[in-house]
Homo-oligomer: A and B are copies of this chain.
Amino acid sequence: MESYESLQDYLTALQKRTAMPAGFECSTVGIDFLPREKPAVKPYRMNVCLIAAERPTPLFGAMFTQNAFPGYPVIIGRERLKSSEIRALLINNRISNVRVPEGRDDADRLLESLAELLECPAEQLMPFSTGIIGWRLPVEDMEKSLGPLVDGLSSAVLLPVSRAIMTTDSYPKMRSIQLGEGRILGIAKGAGMIEPNMATMLVFLLTDLTVTRKFLREALKGCVESTFNRITVDGDQSTSDSVVMLSSGVKPPVDEEEFRKALMRICWKLSEDIVRNGEGTNHVMEVQVAGASDEEVATGAAKAIANSPLVKTAIFGNDPNVGRIINALGDYMGSLNRRFDPLDVSINLGGIDIFEAGFFTLDSEKEGALTKYLADCAQDTSELRFPRHDRNVEINVRIGDGKFESRVLGSDLSYGYIKENAEYRS
């Protein structure tokens, strides 16, 4: 991965490589507001963004959180899947619009005002909100931003939106691939609260390549399942996670398998970006579990390891306390209530065997090598680059002779994570 000495250099490079697919425009506006729910010492800042197709398009799909308290944007987004066409996406950070009494009305009101400005039905608009749960949107301030948003629409680059949707993210996340005469471009917001089913993550995928709606939705589902649903920062699935994909359909189609592969690569790379940019992440863990009797067990075991606070803190400390991997795996396997033989298990950390056919094989030489390996995989804070390096702590686990495997990305647990989350709303 290329990396740059300053965030500005990185952004310039991003901007150069990531031309907007044809047929789309975007804009962002920042507003200041006072929340109803907290005596504010200073106003809060919110960014409102608009991504619009130049013409309403029937080529769209979306996937949403499984959280039982979905935000109103998720509820509305699910309804919109039945719309015949989509014209634009309205996005805000800072407040997530979940279960406040006025939440549905607020979202509808904003969409209706926007529909008037864009001269389209509200059914062609999808809302997305991320941020604090439990507070009301500053709907009047937001409404005032809609005129400037529509006036500011530009087809130049999507970078301003990828910056504006950040909450605790430390840099914008964009990936794109040129394909045939067009391209696929993806941006993601998401740092903490990342887990199965795309927790507190917003992902916007745009393409100008012509696809059928049916294929677009199938491909999106498959890619999300094995990328965004395989990352975990803190095990919580949020109320507002959404992945949406739009095609303007203004470029000729390409081979469907090529499209799918490109989309998969963009989704996987955005997933890595999200974890690497997680709240206080110093190490990215890549846990691969093979030999499972089904895919659910493989993924469950990998997530159990990647989510264990004890594994995460040891890796943060560059301490190869590998017993904790066995502890986390054993906790999960023990909870399944099915036949399991420790003798079928082998584990390798960074290319070094630590547990073979049921037994630890540690010695003091390995201890030294493992400590060095973990230190090498850490962010080098003395040399801050953007985006950070792409080294992962690789944990490979075999749990039997089954045919199924799964790969999960996770982060360590650091002082930075605590700091970020203990003071999130300040």
Tell me the minimal C-beta distance from A257 to chain B in angstroms: 33
Interface string of A304-343 (1 = CB under 8 A from B): 0001111001101101011110111111111100001010
Q: Across the interface, do B368 and A313 meet the contact criterion of CB distance under 8 Å?
A: no
Q: Across the interface, do A39 and B99 meet the contact criterion of CB distance under 8 Å?
A: no
Which one, A78-86, A174-182, A215-223, A232-240, is touching chain B? Answer: A232-240
Q: Across the interface, do B424 and A329 meet the contact criterion of CB distance under 8 Å?
A: no
A window 200-221: CB within 8 A of B: none
Tell me the minimal C-beta distance from A291 to chain B in angstroms: 15
Q: Across the interface, do B360 and A321 meet the contact criterion of CB distance under 8 Å?
A: no
Bound Cα distance A421, B332 (Å):
20
Instruction: Find A134's partner among B307, B322, B331, B364 (CB 8 Å cutoff).
Output: B322
- A379 contacts partner chain B, Cβ-Cβ < 8 Å: no
- A362 contacts partner chain B, Cβ-Cβ < 8 Å: yes
Q: Across the interface, do A424 and B321 meet the contact criterion of CB distance under 8 Å?
A: yes
A334 partner residues in chain B, CB cutoff 8 A: 65-68, 197, 237
A359 partner residues in chain B, CB cutoff 8 A: 99-101
- A418 contacts partner chain B, Cβ-Cβ < 8 Å: yes
Tallying the copies of this chain within the complex gives: 2
Instruction: Find A327's partner among B66, B236, B368 (CB 8 Å cutoff).
Output: B236
A99 partner residues in chain B, CB cutoff 8 A: 326, 342, 355, 358-360
- A37 contacts partner chain B, Cβ-Cβ < 8 Å: yes
Determine the residue in chain B with the shortest Cβ distance to A355.
Answer: B99
Interface size class of A (residues with CB under 8 A): 35 or more
- A4 contacts partner chain B, Cβ-Cβ < 8 Å: no
Interface string of A17-42 (1 = CB under 8 A from B): 00000000000000000001111000
A360 partner residues in chain B, CB cutoff 8 A: 98-101, 134-135
Bound Cα distance A36, B364 (Å):
7
Bound Cα distance A328, B98 (Å):
13
Assuming the contacts A235-B308, A326-B239, A334-B237, asked whether A319 and B362 have C-beta atoms less than 8 A apart, the reply is no
A317 partner residues in chain B, CB cutoff 8 A: 421-424
A418 partner residues in chain B, CB cutoff 8 A: 313, 316, 413-415, 417-418
Bound Cα distance A133, B311 (Å):
12
A329 partner residues in chain B, CB cutoff 8 A: 68-69
A319 partner residues in chain B, CB cutoff 8 A: 422-426
A–B Cβ pairs within 8 angstroms, 16 of them: A37-B364, A39-B364, A39-B368, A67-B330, A67-B334, A133-B324, A134-B322, A134-B362, A135-B362, A193-B310, A199-B331, A234-B308, A236-B308, A309-B417, A319-B426, A415-B419
